[in-house]
């Protein structure tokens, strides 16, 4: 009988103890901040991107801020932000030395341009909020927009009852500059210098193969591996909305000598092939391209990808050649990037 009671008591202990979700208290203060102070945002206009680039294809982007100090947001919060052009003064890209400039107001539309300030709403149940910036034709017609040149500075000016992470200056920093980390014990996160650029629909790395025929000797040279993925990669780099530079001509790449320009007509899915001023070869031809949804596109690893076919001739000053190339898309090579700045005296 005693053994039975012990077993029953043990069972009550085992089955009477149930796991409960562990709940942690929030910190006393909620903090509002921009997660990145100097990010570079690349607008990807192509149809093959890692992740969702729907907003990119709408020619827009978002600037967001977030909440710290809480595991759950139980209130709707409205944060006031403002355009902060003073943060773009007297700076260069620390990596390249290139001057960084304000994104011209003619290049975009945003709430903080209309009324000097804008409201970012963080809905109840969410830990972040954002505002939309709509780019316009002037941005995409500007040749500087294809590289890292323009920045859009924004700062938090009011967060209601919440704390803004405005940093703690270091000793001796009489006039700390938010852009200079040496001025701070804890760097401020109440601003962002949002770098912005774009790549066009064709930009990216492609698997590259083809053949060239010497029109004088009729000799044919193939540069094509049996398996598509064993072929080399070539980059189509953006120079405008419709133009890309290709770093190979007829399977050859020698510094600046063998490069050519591809000019895309997206309405007809055709393109023109021509020479670049800096090259030593004379190139002329045409091409066609197909999206991953079209039957003419090629595939690897079980998936179809954007494909470009080129037919062109070129002369190296001695012989003339006829060339057929095919390019199958691999990757835009766009990664998340941050930058740093060097501040100079005006």
Check which CATH number belongs to the domain holding 288 and give it: 2.40.128.420
pLDDT tens for residues 261-281? 999 998 879 999 999 876 778
| Same structural domain, 57 and 191 | yes
Give a yes or no: residue 247 inside a domain: yes
Give a yes or no: residue 155 inside a domain: yes
| Same structural domain, 64 and 126 | yes
pLDDT tens for residues 186-241? 999 999 999 999 999 999 999 999 999 999 999 999 999 999 999 999 999 999 99
pTM of the predicted protein model: 0.87
| Same structural domain, 248 and 211 | yes
Nearest alpha-carbon partner for 41 in 33, 31, 51: 51
The total domain count for the chain is 2
Give a yes or no: residue 223 inside a domain: yes
| Same structural domain, 44 and 121 | yes
- For residue 26, pLDDT over 60 is answered with no
Q: CB under 8 Å, gap of 24 or more: what pairs does 243-249 form?
A: 243/200, 244/200, 244/202, 244/203, 245/276, 248/208, 249/279, 249/281, 249/283, 249/314, 249/323
What pLDDT score does 172 carry? Answer: 85
| Same structural domain, 216 and 190 | no
| Same structural domain, 152 and 294 | no
Give a yes or no: residue 337 inside a domain: no
Alpha carbon of 130 to those of 67, 81, 338: distances in Å? 12, 11, 19
Residue with tokens 């190979």: 248
CATH of the domain at 138: 2.60.40.1740
Question: What whole-number distance in Å separates Cα of residue 274 and Cα of residue 282?
Answer: 8
Give a yes or no: residue 72 inside a domain: yes
Share of the chain above pLDDT 70, in %: 90
pLDDT tens for residues 246-258? 988 988 876 677 8
Taking every pair of Cα atoms in the chain, the longest distance, rounded to a whole number of angstroms, is: 108
Question: What whole-number distance in Å separates Cα of residue 202 and Cα of residue 327?
Answer: 11
| Same structural domain, 232 and 284 | yes
Give a yes or no: residue 339 inside a domain: no
308 three-state secondary structure = strand
Question: What whole-number distance in Å separates Cα of residue 126 and Cα of residue 121?
Answer: 10
| Same structural domain, 210 and 191 | no
Give a yes or no: residue 130 inside a domain: yes
| Same structural domain, 257 and 306 | yes
- For residue 92, pLDDT over 90 is answered with yes
What pLDDT score does 226 carry? Answer: 92
Which residues face 152 on adjacent strands?
194
Give a yes or no: residue 343 inside a domain: no
| Same structural domain, 160 and 209 | no
Question: What whole-number distance in Å separates Cα of residue 313 and Cα of residue 330?
Answer: 26
| Same structural domain, 217 and 146 | no
Residue with tokens 């470009």: 308
Question: What whole-number distance in Å separates Cα of residue 187 and Cα of residue 180?
Answer: 9
pLDDT tens for residues 133-170? 999 999 999 999 999 999 999 999 999 889 999 999 99
| Same structural domain, 135 and 254 | no
Domain hosting residue 51, numbered range: 31-170+178-199
């Amino acid at each position: 009988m005693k053994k039975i009671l012990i077993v029953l008591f043990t069972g009550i202990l085992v089955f009477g103890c149930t796991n409960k979700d562990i709940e942690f208290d929030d910190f006393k203060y909620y903090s509002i901040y921009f997660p990145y102070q100097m990010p570079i945002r690349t607008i990807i206009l192509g149809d093959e991107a890692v992740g969702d680039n729907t907003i990119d294809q709408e020619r827009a982007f978002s600037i967001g801020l977030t909440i710290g100090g809480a595991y759950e947001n139980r209130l709707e919060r409205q944060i006031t932000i403002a355009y902060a052009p003073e943060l773009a003064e007297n700076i260069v890209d620390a990596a390249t030395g290139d001057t960084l400039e304000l994104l011209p107001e003619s290049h975009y539309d945003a709430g903080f341009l209309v009324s000097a300030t804008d409201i970012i709403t963080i809905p109840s149940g969410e830990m972040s909020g954002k505002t939309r910036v709509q780019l316009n034709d002037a941005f995409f017609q500007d040749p500087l927009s294809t590289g890292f040149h323009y920045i859009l500075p924004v700062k938090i000016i009011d967060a209601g009852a919440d704390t803004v992470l405005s940093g703690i200056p270091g000793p001796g920093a009489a006039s700390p500059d938010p852009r200079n980390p040496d001025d701070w014990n804890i760097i401020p996160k109440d601003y962002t210098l949002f770098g912005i650029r774009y790549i066009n629909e064709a930009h990216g790395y492609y698997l590259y193969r083809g053949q060239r025929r010497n029109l004088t000797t009729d000799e044919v040279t193939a540069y094509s591996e049996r398996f598509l993925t064993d072929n080399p990669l070539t980059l189509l780099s953006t120079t405008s909305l419709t133009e890309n530079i290709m770093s190979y001509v007829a399977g050859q790449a020698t510094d600046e000598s063998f490069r050519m320009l591809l000019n895309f007509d997206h309405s007809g899915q055709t393109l023109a092939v021509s020479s670049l001023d800096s090259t030593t070869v004379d190139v002329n031809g045409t091409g066609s391209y197909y999206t991953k949804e079209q039957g003419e596109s090629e595939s690897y690893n079980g998936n179809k990808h954007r494909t470009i076919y080129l037919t062109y001739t070129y002369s190296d000053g001695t012989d003339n050649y006829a060339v057929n190339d095919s390019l199958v898309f691999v990757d835009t090579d766009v990664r998340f990037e941050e930058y740093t700045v060097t501040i100079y005296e005006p």
